[in-house]
Amino acid sequence: MKTVKLGGSLLMAAALFSSCIEQSDVEMHTTINSDGTCTRIVSYSDVMSQEMRDTLWTDSSQRRAQPVPECLDISGYTYSFTQVGKGDTVTSVLTHDYGTVAEMSEDMPLQLNGAQLKASSSFAKRFRWFYTDYTFTEVFSSVADNFLLPISDYVEDDVASFWFTGQPEMLQGLSGAELAEQINPMESAVTNWLNDNIFKLSFDFIVSHYDSISNPPISREQFVAQHDSFKEYVMKQGDGDVLSVDHKKIFKNFFHSDAYAFFFDETPCGKLLEKENAKLLNIFNLSVPYTIAMPGHITDAGTGVCQNDTVFYSLTGERLIPHDYTITASSRVNHVWAYIVTVLVVVLASVFVLYRRS
């Protein structure tokens, strides 16, 4: 099931704050071989004019789409090829071969806020004479630690999992009206959770940098004591959206002072606070289509979608919020030789029995 998204300007703000360049243009494909070896291919696109290409592609080994998205670390990957498409869209494709799936996951090319996404993989096969079953599993570690306030404080674990991953399926068979009745409280709770995290991040940041304020209208202790009332005021002014308010104006109106304005200007503190907010919101902007190819025919795509024996997954930051995110696929290779041998054995056995009887 496709993840249900947060609504309103929160997601728009998430996209605006995000610093990762065109993450939606990054794709990842994994091919698992029957012996456990594997290949991972990553590709990304960007728009480069002819002038940019002539300027940057001075070295043939660096003829790649530029800039490389911040959510992608390709330092360990081998250059494959780059192609220029319509509208000066340049796509670069890079590959890496691995001896085991464990090595592949340890060398995860995806990163979030400059840190490598943590993942672990396993590969199992079961020989059953007429066929061999293969199962590949990759587990991506949760990014829940990035949020000061856990989602479990706002909704039950299964609700959080459903909201961000679509699993477990909780609303199957409901009508549109019944669906809305269930979804609306979930959306409200999750929106409150995100609002509270964004507010707390900024409020705590100001508290920790309070000594940088010139002539503060109140002491640090008094400022901390105003947390709840100030939050209530912000949410009311922003109509339930902490990111939609004019921060300078709202601080000035509530505290009757411009002393806090520099936290929202192009100052060192202002840039650092913006960066901290961007780190949080980048999670919602991470989206990488992920495909898996297995030996033989796919027999189980897990929570993915199988088309032409390729499993399609949507690897998003949201899916990493409630818990570790598991991607799995199973396939089967039929042994033609086993059927031939079996038939030959049966035929020979029949001939032998007939010969003995004669």
pLDDT tens readout for residues 193-228: 999 999 999 999 999 999 999 999 999 999 999 999
Q: Does one domain contain both 231 and 307?
A: no
Q: Which residues contact 348 (CB under 8 A, 6 or more apart)?
A: none
129 and 27 in one domain?
A: yes
C-alpha span between 180 and 165 (Å, rounded):
18
For β-strands 305-307 and 297-300, DSSP reports them as unpaired
Q: What is the pLDDT at residue 23?
A: 46
Shared domain check, 250 and 180: yes
* Nearest alpha-carbon partner for 143 in 169, 167, 168, 164: 164
Q: Which position has the higher pLDDT, 354 or 252?
A: 252
**Confidence class for position 2, pLDDT limits 50, 70, 90:** very low
Cis status, amide bond into 168, omega within 30 of 0: yes
Q: Looking at residue 60, what is its pLDDT?
A: 64
Tokens of 64: 């790649």
Instruction: Report the distance separating Cα 287 and Cα 22, nearest Å.
Output: 9
pLDDT level of residue 179 (50, 70, 90 thresholds): confident
- Which one of 67-71, 83-87, 133-137, 162-166 scores highest in mean pLDDT? 133-137
Bridge partner residues of 92 (DSSP): 44, 82
Same-domain status, 303 and 185: no
On the CB side of 307, CA atoms within 13 Å amount to 5
- Beta-sheet pairing, 38-47 with 27-32: antiparallel
Q: Is residue 318 part of a domain?
A: yes
Select from 341, 346, 313, 351 the least CA-distant residue to 329: 313
What's the confidence (pLDDT) of residue 302?
92
- Structural domain of 124: 9-147+283-338
Indicate if 237 and 295 belong to the same structural domain.
no
d(CA 171, CA 304): 18
What is the reported pTM? Answer: 0.85
178 and 226 inside one domain = yes
How many domains does the chain contain in total? 2
pLDDT band at 178 (very low <50, low <70, confident <90, very high): confident
Please name every residue paired with 79 in a beta bridge, in sequence order, or none if there are none.
94
Tokens representing residue 189 in the block: 């709770």
pLDDT (tens digit per residue) in 340-357: 888 888 888 888 788 777
